[in-house]
Amino acid sequence: MKVGFIGLGNVGAKLAGSLIRNGVDTVVRDVEKTAAQPLLDQGAAWANCGKEMAEVCDVVITCLPSPKVSAEVLEAEDGVIAGLSEGKVWLEMSTTDSNEVKRLGRKVSAKGAIAMDSPVSGGCHRATTGNIAILVGGERKGFDNAMPVLKHLGREILHTGPLGTASVMKVITNYLAGVQLVSTGEAFMVAKKAGMDLATAYEAIRISSGNSFVHETEGQLILNGSYNINFTMDHELKDVSLFDQLGQDLGVPMDLSPVVVDVMKDGLKRYGPRVWSSQVVKRLEDDCETDLRADGFPEILEDSEPEVEGYEVRRES
Amino acid code (one letter) for 81: I
Residue pair 306/260 in contact by the 8 Å Cβ criterion: no
User: 203-235: per-residue pLDDT in tens?
Assistant: 999 999 999 999 999 999 999 999 999 999 999
What angle is formed at CA 286 by the lines to CA 284 and CA 289, rounded to 5 degrees? 100
Looking at residues 30-50, what average pLDDT do you find?
A: 97
Does residue 317 have a pLDDT over 70? no
Instruction: Give me the pLDDT at residue 315, please.
Output: 79
Average model confidence (pLDDT) across the chain: 97
Residue pair 50/79 in contact by the 8 Å Cβ criterion: yes
Residue 228: how many other CB atoms lie within 10 Å: 17
Does residue 21 have a pLDDT over 80? yes
Helices (H) and strands (E) in the chain, counts: 14, 10
Instruction: Give me the pLDDT at residue 248, please.
Output: 97
Residue pair 142/316 in contact by the 8 Å Cβ criterion: no
- Beta strands in the chain, from DSSP E residues, in sequence order: 2-6, 25-29, 45-46, 59-62, 89-92, 114-117, 120-121, 132-137, 154-161, 311-312
Give every CB contact of residue 130 below 8 A, 6+ residues apart in sequence: 18, 21, 22, 152, 153, 154, 155, 307, 310
Task: Give the percent of the chain with pLDDT over 70.
Answer: 100
Does residue 181 have a pLDDT over 90? yes
Nearest Cα residue to 66 out of 107, 37, 31? 31
Task: Give the percent of the chain with pLDDT over 90.
Answer: 98
User: 253-304: per-residue pLDDT in tens?
Assistant: 999 999 999 999 999 999 999 999 999 999 999 999 999 999 999 999 999 9
Residue pair 275/227 in contact by the 8 Å Cβ criterion: yes
Nearest Cα residue to 131 out of 307, 281, 255? 307
Residue pair 184/281 in contact by the 8 Å Cβ criterion: yes
The terminus-to-terminus CA distance of the chain in angstroms comes to: 34
By CB atoms closer than 10 A (0-12, 13-18, 19+), residue 43 is exposed
Looking at residues 126-145, what average pLDDT do you find?
A: 95
Full set of structural domains in the chain with CATH: 2-164+306-312 (3.40.50.720), 168-288 (1.10.1040.10)
pTM above 0.85, yes or no: yes
Looking at residues 139-150, what average pLDDT do you find?
A: 94
